[in-house]
Amino acid sequence: MKKLAFLVFLFSFQNSFGQEFFRLKADVSIKDKLATGAYRLTVGKVYYDKPSMGLIYKLHFPQEETIIIKDTTLYRLNKKDSLLASQTVTIMNEFSIFHLSLSGKLADYGINSGKINGVYKIEKVEKDADGRVITTWKVVEKRLLKILGKIKMANIDKKLDAIAFYDVSDKLLSQQFFKDYVNVKGVVFPQQVTQISYNSDGTQNIQQTTYKNIVIDENGQDTIYNHPIPVVALPKSGNSPKQK
């Protein structure tokens, strides 16, 4: 009996540290301050399904709409699920805070794993006056040396506090700040993310996103987490202009 009890304890202990998380849901509000001086507020819910890497926003303000980000495409649907528009995006869901948090890789922004593993290596590690660990990563992939610049990260207690992206001439392109971390079922997630993007003319756009009521590994609602991708209608060949 003692041996059986020990095996049960060992199995439970291993599972507690080897658990893989696959879904995240949260209430989300996004405040944008644009370079033009305009303000914008967006409110709704966000759903992320790690196996399919599908990111879904169900928004109810300023209007009801659904945004689906899958692979390299963003789809906007109205409240009747009719396609309003689609566009190509450059940021992959694999490097979203949802995927990185569920994978336990947000602390280094997934830089040591996935498709960018081996692209960067640590150039310098130091501490600032606030006790943050500042890590500078430089590009080592030769074919990307003329495209990507360095990345600087600040960590506190092994949590990502801030990250900054630079171009090849060391000009600051954007920064993100991560605050108010919570631990939900073992997933460590920041409840506030602020992003500052710098434009070539010196102006900047600021976006502050707040997450509340975070739910991990929710059962059901598969139709939301795996929302069908809308079919983008292609122009009929008969409608193309004739060549002269």
Structural domain boundaries in the chain: 20-228
CATH fold for domain 20-228: outer membrane lipoprotein receptor (LolB), chain A (2.50.20)
Q: Which residue in this structure is represented by tokens 């507690």? A: 16
Beta carbons of 24 and 101 less than 8 angstroms apart: yes
Read off the tokens for 40.
């914008």
Which candidate, 70, 29, 110, places its Cα nearest to that of 227? 70
Specify the pLDDT at position 15.
40
Specify the pLDDT at position 232.
64
Half-sphere exposure of 148 (CA within 13 A, CB side): 17
Specify the pLDDT at position 189.
98
Predicted structure pTM score: 0.85
Specify the pLDDT at position 17.
47
Counting DSSP H helices and E strands in the chain, the numbers are 3, 13
Specify the pLDDT at position 208.
98
Specify the pLDDT at position 6.
37
HEC string of 102-138 equals HHCCHHHCCCCCHHHCCCEEEEEEEECCCCCEEEEEE
Specify the pLDDT at position 176.
98
* First-to-last C-alpha distance (Å) of the chain: 88
Specify the pLDDT at position 178.
98
All residue ranges of the chain with pLDDT < 70 are: 1-18, 114, 232-244
From CA 65, how far away is CA 230, in angstroms rounded? 14
